[in-house]
């Protein structure tokens, strides 16, 4: 069956518009939609986070509400960002588990993808596992093929950075990724359950403990650090909602 052509561009991907006495060509909406669909697929956002948007991020604290407004302005204004607020167009989300760091990071990606900005979601733990399992000691081509899209994509979301204890090889790999994007001024969005620095009396590990000073120094310079507080949504908020519904059902029984 022959595919029906777009009535606006007749399948060319371009439409001619007239403004006064002048005519010009512009991308047809059908072509833009097709490109956006491809960008969403290539962004590799996991199904778990496919529905994460700004609209369904419900702040559980004043800090979370303020952060939501901040990162919404990042997504709306990109790439013409306020340099004092967003430094080198990179973000670092820190804070305990379940505060919505990945949710907000993905919401940014989806907003930018709709603006035809190429983005890529990378889980830190999965990345290291993929490199380790495919490593070719003779040619090292496997590692290069895995890292190439990570190094070249316009916006990289590196999720759960520092989630495991690091070997020297892992630290070198992370430094290579961060340093290349740092040198080429490529925007980076990072999420981590670890803080940049720990309190003096705290024994909890920090990003510097896991990744080394070289990496953290670059993150300090290139990223706007956004620390999220509030309850653990997965453990506390959803459990509270479940307990409420359960007690309501029992009361009506």
Residue 161 lies in a domain: yes
Residue-level pLDDT at 111: 94
Residue 252 lies in a domain: no
Residue 2 lies in a domain: no
Tokens coding 80: 């013409």
Supply the Cα-derived Rg of the chain in whole angstroms.
Answer: 22
Residues 189, 45: contact at Cβ < 8 Å? no
Instruction: State the Cα–Cα distance between residues 202 and 208, nearest whole angstrom.
Output: 14
Closest CA to 119 of 29, 222, 45, 31: 45
What DSSP line would sit under 147-210, residue for residue? HHHHHHSSEEEEETTT-S---HHHHHHHHHHHHHHHHTT--EEEEESS-SS--TT-----HHHH
* Whole-structure pTM value: 0.77
Whether pLDDT at 59 is above 50? yes
Report the pLDDT averaged over residues 117-132: 90
Number of domain units in the chain: 1
Give the domain extent around 60. 30-237
Residues 192, 219: contact at Cβ < 8 Å? no
Residue-level pLDDT at 108: 97
> Domain holding 163: CATH number?
3.40.50.300
pLDDT in tens, 193-221: 998 875 554 568 889 989 999 999 999 99
Residue 231 lies in a domain: yes
Residue 3 lies in a domain: no
């Amino acid at each position: 069956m022959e595919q029906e052509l777009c009535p606006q561009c007749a399948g060319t991907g371009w439409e001619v518009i007239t403004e006064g006495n002048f005519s010009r060509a512009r991308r047809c909406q059908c072509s833009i939609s097709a490109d956006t669909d491809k960008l969403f697929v290539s962004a590799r956002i996991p199904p778990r986070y496919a529905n994460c948007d700004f609209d369904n991020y419900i702040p559980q604290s004043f800090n979370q509400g303020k952060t939501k407004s901040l990162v919404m302005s990042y997504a709306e204004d990109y790439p013409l960002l306020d340099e004092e607020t967003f430094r080198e167009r990179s973000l670092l989300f820190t804070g305990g588990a379940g505060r919505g760091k990945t949710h907000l990071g993905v919401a940014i990606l989806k907003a930018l993808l709709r603006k035809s900005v190429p983005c890529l979601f990378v889980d830190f733990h999965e990345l290291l596992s993929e490199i380790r399992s495919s490593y070719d000691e003779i040619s090292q081509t496997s590692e290069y093929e895995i890292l190439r899209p990570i190094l070249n994509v316009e916006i990289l979301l590196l999720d759960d950075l520092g989630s495991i204890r690091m070997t020297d090889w892992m630290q070198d790999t992370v430094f290579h990724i961060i340093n290349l994007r740092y040198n080429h001024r490529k925007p980076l969005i990072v999420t981590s359950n670890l803080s940049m620095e720990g309190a003096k009396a705290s024994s909890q590990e920090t990003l510097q403990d896991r990744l080394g000073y070289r990496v953290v120094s670059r993150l300090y310079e290139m990223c706007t650090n956004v620390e999220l507080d509030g309850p653990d949504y997965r453990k506390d908020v959803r459990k509270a909602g479940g307990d409420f519904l359960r007690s309501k059902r029992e009361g009506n029984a």
